[in-house]
A = this chain, B = another copy of it.
């Protein structure tokens, strides 16, 4: 079988478009409606998506603008995906959990538990917090700096994966006759002592169906890329042009060798904001219906947030994007992308805010199913992507549109599966099951 692309369905409450909740077709209370998510999961699974992906933040906005966005009331991802594991059978379940304000033992345990609950469908989107407000919920007056966040993330990953290897796959013999429940020689005490963490182990969850849940990342700074090259198995990324995506793709793949990794052991899945219509004009009109619902202040505030928690409310809406310092707490790479976009298209602050309200820095494809499939195919075949994280303006409608119109077109082209071929997320993504570090050391 020729190489096929991988697809993730990005589920963000009412959709990726910031004004989606105001649209008449969208259930505004989606964030805490389990029936809504159950429907999304079933649509995505019927369409054979590799995974559902749930982003996260551990703070609620309190500014005036926050009160105009559907971002302050939503399920905690691990509880949500655990519930969805009980009503799905095949689709992967990828949740974000920050390394900045968590304990590695809890994270290791919850994802291992989800992997068992789902029969091997868990993925962990390992992030560092880029939202300064989160710090205030965890006893800190100030956000951790970029370098410290990444240093902590790297060690956090070591501890979590170490805990996941606490038990050999065959450690739990459960021999009723002898009374031997587990084989002590197959249990490994981590005894980690590092700069940020001291964690003894072992984990109180057996090695999980996938060996280890799939490691997902989304950092695109220099440090982020290096961490991904060393540790990630899937990378989500925001790229605004084919050329940029190709450069990112080849850069990241080229970094794998120094860690003894094959190019295929890391799947790069750019986010693509997709609006489907039966004609291009209809697709544009569909997008316009959402854009018209964006209050200028909301778009600009979102822009400030994306650029690194800048308050842009003092700048004229019809002026240009102001020069902003490259702060340590922000996401440098994203800031660079957006500045270039604004300059290239000569956008005012309000226009840029409205522009990013849909795709928010991701590549956008607005068109017919054939046009969308063309673009995805081009990126896939021209060295820019192993697959895509599909962002739709509104939910469930945007996902239903994609499943109904774009998936069959991709399948017709042989670019996407007709049936799940694996039983685990790893198998569907074409990722090898990790060998335990203790087995590897012995052999």
Contact surface of A with B, Cβ cutoff 8 Å: 19, 21-24, 28-29, 31-32, 34, 38, 57-60, 62, 64, 67-76, 78-80, 82-87, 101-103, 105-106, 109-110, 112-114, 116-117, 133, 136-141, 166-167, 172, 174, 176, 179-184, 187, 189, 197-206, 293, 295, 298
- For A191, the closest partner residue in chain B by CB is B136
With a CB–CB cut-off of 8 A, which chain B residues contact A103?
101, 103, 138-139
With a CB–CB cut-off of 8 A, which chain B residues contact A184?
62, 64, 67
- Say yes or no: B109 contacts A76, CB within 8 Å: yes
- Say yes or no: B62 contacts A187, CB within 8 Å: yes
A32, A71, A76, A179 interface centre (most CB from chain B within 10 Å) = A76
Number of copies: 2
Query: Distance (Å) between the CB of A397 and the closest chain B CB?
Result: 15
A and B contact pairs by CB, cutoff 8 A, 20 listed: A24-B176, A29-B174, A32-B205, A58-B106, A60-B187, A60-B202, A62-B202, A67-B182, A73-B182, A73-B206, A74-B205, A76-B110, A76-B112, A79-B110, A80-B117, A83-B86, A86-B87, A87-B87, A103-B138, A137-B199
Asked, given contacts A22-B176, A137-B199, A206-B73, whether A116 binds B32 with beta carbons under 8 Å apart, the answer is yes
- For A84, the closest partner residue in chain B by CB is B86
Docked complex Cα distance between A106 and B58 (Å): 8
Docked complex Cα distance between A102 and B102 (Å): 9
- For A172, the closest partner residue in chain B by CB is B73
Docked complex Cα distance between A67 and B184 (Å): 6
For the complex of A and B, the 3 pairs showing the least CB-CB separation, nearest first, are A82-B82, A136-B200, A60-B204
With a CB–CB cut-off of 8 A, which chain B residues contact A140?
198
With a CB–CB cut-off of 8 A, which chain B residues contact A298?
179
Tell me the interface secondary structure of chain A in the complex: loop
Taking A64-B184, A73-B182 as known contacts, 5 extra A-B pairs with beta carbons closer than 8 A to each other, sorted by chain A number, are: A28-B174, A67-B180, A69-B181, A80-B82, A103-B138
- For A163, the closest partner residue in chain B by CB is B137
- Say yes or no: A181 contacts B137, CB within 8 Å: no
Docked complex Cα distance between A421 and B18 (Å): 41
Query: Distance (Å) between the CB of A111 and the closest chain B CB?
Result: 9
Asked, given contacts A28-B174, A106-B102, A187-B62, whether A113 binds B205 with beta carbons under 8 Å apart, the answer is no
With a CB–CB cut-off of 8 A, which chain B residues contact A62?
184, 187, 189, 202
Asked, given contacts A79-B79, A189-B62, whether A206 binds B139 with beta carbons under 8 Å apart, the answer is no
- For A64, the closest partner residue in chain B by CB is B184
Partner of A293, one of B75, B138, B167, B179: B179
- Say yes or no: A57 contacts B204, CB within 8 Å: yes
Asked, given contacts A174-B29, A176-B24, whether A34 binds B72 with beta carbons under 8 Å apart, the answer is no
- Say yes or no: A21 contacts B70, CB within 8 Å: no
Docked complex Cα distance between A218 and B180 (Å): 31
With a CB–CB cut-off of 8 A, which chain B residues contact A57?
204
With a CB–CB cut-off of 8 A, which chain B residues contact A180?
67-68
